């Protein structure tokens, strides 16, 4: 489905690139400035591709603005370079706009397709016709302003582009634009999180910074700070430099905002996945707590001990059973517990199993004392012991050997393989849930090894 969508997006981009080519040819034939119709086509293309990939309106606006401004800058440069290759005033601009449109369209398609992978299930700002029209008109007006400036008396043809190169060539001004907009974007995101119901504060911060950062950068260039070697007194030169700095500032801040949106979307998605995996793990543990087979077997053993007047063993059994449930309930919401606590809990569980399998289990525990203060996922060790007894024969004739040790920074549980011939086959759901918990909480994966004679699971110790 994703591949089909990608192919359809490529077809859309090619269609718009051909339309750009045709408009550029017709405009040259009619001796008409093609800036506005080409800008409208570019905006429409970005919106169409974004909507096809279900992109949120904020992302759509940022991509449209970046594509429009970059198309203006690189389109002008490529047009000049193309005239040196194609000796035709009709074909050179048309070919350059075709190439730039294709690059911008494919880039937008690639970004929006990747963004959908990071989309969380939180409520996004809806893409309504009103939002689309407002976004398109705002960017179109901005583009018209630069068209008017480019044709103003203080600008000769191509002057804005030469001033853009002048700004980009000044290390101090470029550093100020980059650092200032990165800091601004971080503060904007913080304001949105702290005061989501007060958007005017964010808007005011953007407006002030959008003016002050380019003005400060222009002063660095105009007065040649910090060297003051050849300061210029021309106000026209200051305005020309400021217009280029404003354009670069808009591109940088929109790209910073785009990156911030991507990072936030990815973080939300990871948090939602972690919450989902934790819920599944807690559900698995809850099933253990109310597992009818476990309760039935435990009550059956308890009834046998009572009837045999084994009061001390019965009392010990009850206390261990209560301890198991107490541990599960008290650690239900904890991501990690001490290995010593998990080992004590598992030992109680093993004692209950031994009441059921009197001569069928051989448990060996060899844990380094220095590792007892380390952390593991709660109930993970007990789950591995339970899996071993669930899927293997446990009898006096074929005893199940379970060995629990620490090897380096791992807690290793190994048992001999003697699979049961009856019952449902293993779904490995328990192991998968444990794996997800370790990946989400510690970023480390568990290790599962299976041979003809042994089954080994290694849990990372934090």
Per-residue model confidence as pLDDT tens digits over 251-279:
788 778 777 777 777 777 667 766 666 66
- Pair 356, 395: CB distance under 8 Å: no
Q: Are residues 378 and 450 in the same domain?
A: yes
Residues 6+ apart with CB under 8 A from 270: none
pLDDT score, position 455: 92
CATH number at residue 391: 3.30.565.10
Q: Look at residue 295 and tell me if it is in a domain.
A: yes
pLDDT score, position 190: 73
- Provide mean pLDDT across the span 398-411: 89
Residues 6+ apart with CB under 8 A from 149: 155, 160, 243
Q: Are residues 206 and 129 in the same domain?
A: no
96: tokens are: 């350059």
Q: Are residues 134 and 181 in the same domain?
A: no
Closest CA to 48 of 112, 2, 103: 112
Q: Are residues 308 and 424 in the same domain?
A: yes
Give the β-pairing of 361-366 and 400-407.
parallel
Rounded Cα gap, residues 178 and 176, in angstroms:
6
Closest CA to 462 of 365, 371, 368: 371
Q: Are residues 338 and 404 in the same domain?
A: yes
Q: Look at residue 134 and tell me if it is in a domain.
A: yes
> Per-residue confidence at 456, pLDDT binned at 50, 70, 90?
very high
pLDDT score, position 414: 92
Q: Are residues 65 and 207 in the same domain?
A: no
- Provide mean pLDDT across the span 318-346: 81
- Pair 336, 375: CB distance under 8 Å: yes
Q: Look at residue 210 and tell me if it is in a domain.
A: yes
Structural domain for 310, as ranges: 290-460
pLDDT score, position 282: 58
> Per-residue confidence at 209, pLDDT binned at 50, 70, 90?
confident
Q: Are residues 398 and 332 in the same domain?
A: yes
Concatenating the DSSP letter of every residue in 343-367 gives HHHHHHHHHHHHHHSTTTEEEEEE-
Q: Are residues 399 and 338 in the same domain?
A: yes
SS3 407: strand
Q: Are residues 262 and 297 in the same domain?
A: no
- pTM surpassing 0.85? no
Rounded Cα gap, residues 347 and 328, in angstroms:
14
Q: Are residues 176 and 226 in the same domain?
A: yes
Q: Look at residue 281 and tell me if it is in a domain.
A: no
Domains of the chain: total: 3
Q: Does the pLDDT at position 453 exceed 80?
A: yes
Q: Look at residue 277 and tell me if it is in a domain.
A: no
pLDDT score, position 82: 82
Q: Are residues 137 and 10 in the same domain?
A: yes
pLDDT digits (tens, 9 = 90+) for 434-450: 888 888 788 888 889 98
Q: Are residues 255 and 317 in the same domain?
A: no
Q: Look at residue 276 and tell me if it is in a domain.
A: no
Sheet architecture: strand order including 410-416: 361-366, 400-407, 410-416, 454-460, 447-450
Q: Look at residue 282 and tell me if it is in a domain.
A: no
Q: Look at residue 120 and tell me if it is in a domain.
A: yes
């Amino acid at each position: 489905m994703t591949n089909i969508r990608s192919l359809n997006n490529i077809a859309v981009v090619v269609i718009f690139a051909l339309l750009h080519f045709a408009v550029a040819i017709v405009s040259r034939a009619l001796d008409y400035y093609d800036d506005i119709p080409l800008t409208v086509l570019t905006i429409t293309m970005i919106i169409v591709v974004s909507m096809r990939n279900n992109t949120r309106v904020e992302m759509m606006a940022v991509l449209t603005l970046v594509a429009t401004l970059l198309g203006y800058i690189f389109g002008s440069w490529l047009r000049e370079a193309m005239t040196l290759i194609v000796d035709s005033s009709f074909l050179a601009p048309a070919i350059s706009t075709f190439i730039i449109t294709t690059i911008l369209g494919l880039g937008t398609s690639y970004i929006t397709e990747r963004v959908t992978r990071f989309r969380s299930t939180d409520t996004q700002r809806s893409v309504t016709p009103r939002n689309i029209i407002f976004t398109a008109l705002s960017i179109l007006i901005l583009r018209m302003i630069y068209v008017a400036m480019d044709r103003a008396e203080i600008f000769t043809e191509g002057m804005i582009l030469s001033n853009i190169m002048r700004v980009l060539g000044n290390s101090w001004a470029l550093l100020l634009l980059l650092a200032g907009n990165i800091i601004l974007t971080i503060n904007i995101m913080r304001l949105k999180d702290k005061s989501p119901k007060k958007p005017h504060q964010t808007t005011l911060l953007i407006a002030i910074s959008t003016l002050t950062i380019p003005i400060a950068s222009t002063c660095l260039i105009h007065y040649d700070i910090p060297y003051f070697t050849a300061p210029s007194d021309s106000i026209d030169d200051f305005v020309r430099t400021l217009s280029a700095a404003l354009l670069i500032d808009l591109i940088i801040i929109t790209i910073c905002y785009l990156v911030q949106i991507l990072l936030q979307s990815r973080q939300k998605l990871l948090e939602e996945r972690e919450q989902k995996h934790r819920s599944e793990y807690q559900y698995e543990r809850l099933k253990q707590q109310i597992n009818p087979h476990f309760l039935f077997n435990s009550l059956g053993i308890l009834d046998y001990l009572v009837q045999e007047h084994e009061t001390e063993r019965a009392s010990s059994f009850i206390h261990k059973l209560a301890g198991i449930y107490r541990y599960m309930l008290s650690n239900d919401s904890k991501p990690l517990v001490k290995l010593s606590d998990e080992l004590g809990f598992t030992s109680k569980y093993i004692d209950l199993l031994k009441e059921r399998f009197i001569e069928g289990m051989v448990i060996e525990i060899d844990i380094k004392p220095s590792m007892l203060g380390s952390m593991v996922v709660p109930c993970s060790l007990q789950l591995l012991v339970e899996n071993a007894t669930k899927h293997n024969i446990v009898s006096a004739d074929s005893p199940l050997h379970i060995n629990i040790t620490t090897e380096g920074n791992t807690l290793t549980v190994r048992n001999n393989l003697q699979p049961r011939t009856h019952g449902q086959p293993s779904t490995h759901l328990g192991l998968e849930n444990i794996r997800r918990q370790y990946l989400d909480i510690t970023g480390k994966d568990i290790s599962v090894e299976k041979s003809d004679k042994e089954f080994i699971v290694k849990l990372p110790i934090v």
